[in-house]
């Protein structure tokens, strides 16, 4: 059986499905800011009204004070604050979850920003659609 195309674009072209379930990505950030090393998204392709969680591993020479995920979807841009759940502020895991309120058939991007006590910042942009 071939791939199923679930949605049709405004131009009539089919849009292929994206990955299902939990997906983990290795990430590398430049500069002196916090080092974002991995991002787990669960589920990667949430349906409207379904809960989605991000789990992000970060190491830093200075304590990480704030981690944000900004999701850009079909018709909205929403920023979520994550909390430290494992390890230390200089080497730990940050997590956050929310209920999906928009579709991501055409636009699906996550911008991850980590801020430290020394005012250094790192940003990773993951574009999925």
CATH number for the domain harbouring residue 71? 2.60.40.1930
Q: How many domains does the chain have?
A: 1
Rounded to two decimals, what is the model's pTM?
0.87
Answer whether residue 3 is part of any domain. no
- Main-chain phi, psi angles of 28, to 5 degrees: -130, 130
Q: What residues does 68 pair with on adjacent strands?
A: 81, 113
Total residues belonging to the chain? 129
What stretch of H or E contains 16? none
CB 87 within 8 Å of CB 93: yes
Answer whether residue 13 is part of any domain. no
HSE-up (13 A, CA, CB side) for residue 79: 8
Answer whether residue 1 is part of any domain. no
Alpha carbon 97 to chain centroid, angstroms: 10
Answer whether residue 5 is part of any domain. no
Tell me whether strands 23-26 and 14-15 are parallel, antiparallel or unpaired: unpaired
Answer whether residue 11 is part of any domain. no
SS3 category, 2: coil
- For 5-63, the pLDDT digits (tens) are 455 556 666 777 788 899 999 999 988 899 999 999 999 999 999 999 999 999 999 99
- For 60-116, the pLDDT digits (tens) are 999 999 999 999 999 999 999 999 999 988 999 999 999 999 999 889 999 999 999
What is the dihedral sign for C-alpha 15, 16, 20, 23?
A: negative
CA angle 103, 71, 55 (to 5 degrees): 110
The span from the CA of 83 to the CA of 97, in Å, is 10
Answer whether residue 72 is part of any domain. yes
| Segments forming the whole domain that contains residue 42 | 24-127
């Amino acid at each position: 059986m071939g791939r199923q195309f679930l949605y049709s674009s405004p131009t009539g072209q089919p849009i292929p499905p994206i990955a299902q379930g939990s997906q983990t990505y290795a990430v590398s950030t430049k500069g002196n800011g916090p080092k974002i090393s991995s991002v787990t998204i669960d589920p990667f392709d949430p349906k409207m009204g379904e809960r989605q969680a991000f789990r992000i591993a970060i190491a830093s020479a200075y304590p990480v004070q704030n981690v944000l995920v900004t999701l850009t979807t079909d018709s909205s841009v929403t920023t979520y604050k994550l909390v430290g759940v494992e390890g230390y502020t200089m080497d730990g895991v940050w997590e956050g979850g929310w209920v999906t309120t928009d579709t991501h058939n055409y636009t699906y991007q996550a911008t991850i920003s980590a801020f430290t006590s020394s005012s250094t910042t790192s940003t990773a942009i993951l574009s999925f659609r």
